[in-house]
Amino acid sequence: MSETKQQCSAKVQRNRRCSRDGVVIEDDKSWCKQHAPSHVKAWEEARDARWEAKWAAQDAAVAKAERIKAAEAAVVEAAVAWREARSPTTLVNYLVVAVDELIDARKAAEKGTAK
């Protein structure tokens, strides 16, 4: 008794059927390994996960850059306020805190972590 192979049920270019033999049976249809619905779903989920990881890395890089930019602006603002006030005792702590935040932001960016 010979077993006849069924062709893959997938529709490909110009509504033609895939020319491969079906090796997986899903939903009462024969599919090749590439077009089996479970394989397609797994491949799409893996692709989406790769994109999400790439976008998350880009978002993290933007957040780090924005944190450094904000810290630099705070240092400049503190320095300007200190210069205009001409009273170092009242604004020196503000400047020290701003500089510390800038240093922390740059260190975090170098290590690859964001607060």
Positive or negative, the CA dihedral 61, 64, 68, 74 is positive
Report how far residue 11's alpha carbon sits from residue 59's, in angstroms, rounded to the nearest whole number.
38
Mean pLDDT over 43-69 rounds to 94
Q: List, for residues 5-37, the tens digit of each pLDDT value.
A: 789 988 888 889 899 999 999 989 999 999 999
Q: Which residues are within 8 A (CB) of 32 and not within 5 positions of it... i.e. 6 or more apart?
A: 8, 10, 18, 20, 21, 22, 23, 24
Report how far residue 32's alpha carbon sits from residue 106's, in angstroms, rounded to the nearest whole number.
52
Q: List, for residues 63-82, the tens digit of each pLDDT value.
A: 999 988 988 888 888 777 77
Going by pLDDT thresholds of 50, 70 and 90, the confidence category of residue 1 is very low
Check: pTM over 0.75? Answer yes or no. Answer: no
Residue 114 in this model has a pLDDT that exceeds 60: no
- Return the pLDDT at 2: 45
Report how far residue 39's alpha carbon sits from residue 24's, in angstroms, rounded to the nearest whole number.
10
